[in-house]
Chains A and B, each alone.
Chain A
Amino acid sequence: QSALTQPASVSGSPGQSITISCTGPSPDVGNYKFVSWYQQHPGKAPKLMIYDVSYRPSGVSNRFSGSKSGNTASLTISGLQAEDEADYYCSSYASSSTLNVVFGGGTKLTVL
């Protein structure tokens, strides 16, 4: 059982916006700013999309954005495109002192 809770699936039409939530017990998500989001296409390794809650690595589209409120972090994808269809996982430190990490169970995004 994953420590971070995500919806199993979300869907949207091209051009629309969707939001994926990630809820964890304090202090995993609540107390730390180190929430990250990964995109994973079938048969591929995860790809970092968002780090430190709301920052994008170089090369990631600005259609991807992140935020956090209390114990819930969110990933928003605007202007949905067919290539956004993938699994998305959130991650956070379980302990910043030991650098142990936890992942969410994943959300399957379907672009209709």
Chain B
Amino acid sequence: QVQLVQSGAEVKKPGASVKVSCKASGYTFTDYYIYWVRQAPGQGPEWMGWINPNSGGTNYAQKFQGRVTMTRDTSITTAYMELSRLRSDDTAVYYCASHNPVYNAFDIWGQGTMVTVSS
């Protein structure tokens, strides 16, 4: 079964960091870019960046540059997204999604990880 399974919900204080994991199974992990997308309550999705699991190359949205780091561990087919210097407006559901180059779209999504930033 093709799926992405993310780590559980997190509660963090302002200024802290959070690291979310995304484990892929059922397909060749290195074949498809992993994108990270977040969705604040009541808002549309917001693209954060992507990682090429094959090379480890990354591209971050300008808004998050300097605060986000995307990595992967091919031995355990897992991608990670770490966001630092958290603020209250970083409270959102964070999703990983597999980018299918045939579709030019995201056909596999993780279940989402709720990150709450509160003092």
Contacts and interface: CB of A to CB of B under 8 A. Distances in A.
Contact of B95 (A45, A51, A102): A45
Interface string B66-105: 0000000000000000000000000000010101000111
Contact of B105 (A48, A98, A105): A48
B44 A48 contact: no
Contact of A91 (B43, B61, B105, B109): B105
Interface of A is mostly: strand
B104 A102 contact: no
A89 interface: yes
A89 B109 CA distance: 14
A23 interface: no
A69 interface: no
Interface residues of B, number: 23
Nearest to A105: B44
Contact of B47 (A45, A46, A100, A106): A100
Interface string B46-62: 11001000000001010
Contacts of A91: 45, 105-106
Contact of A89 (B44, B103, B104, B110): B44
Nearest to A52: B104
A86 to B, nearest CB: 13
Interface string B105-119: 111011110000000
A108 to B, nearest CB: 10
Closest 3 CB pairs of A and B: A36-B105, A45-B109, A51-B103
Given A2-B44, A45-B110, A103-B46, 19 more contacts: A36-B105, A36-B106, A45-B109, A45-B112, A47-B109, A48-B107, A51-B103, A51-B105, A51-B107, A55-B103, A57-B103, A89-B44, A91-B106, A99-B33, A99-B99, A100-B59, A100-B61, A101-B47, A105-B44
13 contacts: A36-B103, A36-B106, A38-B45, A46-B95, A48-B105, A93-B104, A99-B33, A99-B99, A100-B59, A101-B35, A101-B47, A105-B44, A106-B44
Interface of B: 33, 35, 37, 43-47, 50, 59, 61, 95, 97, 99, 103-107, 109-112
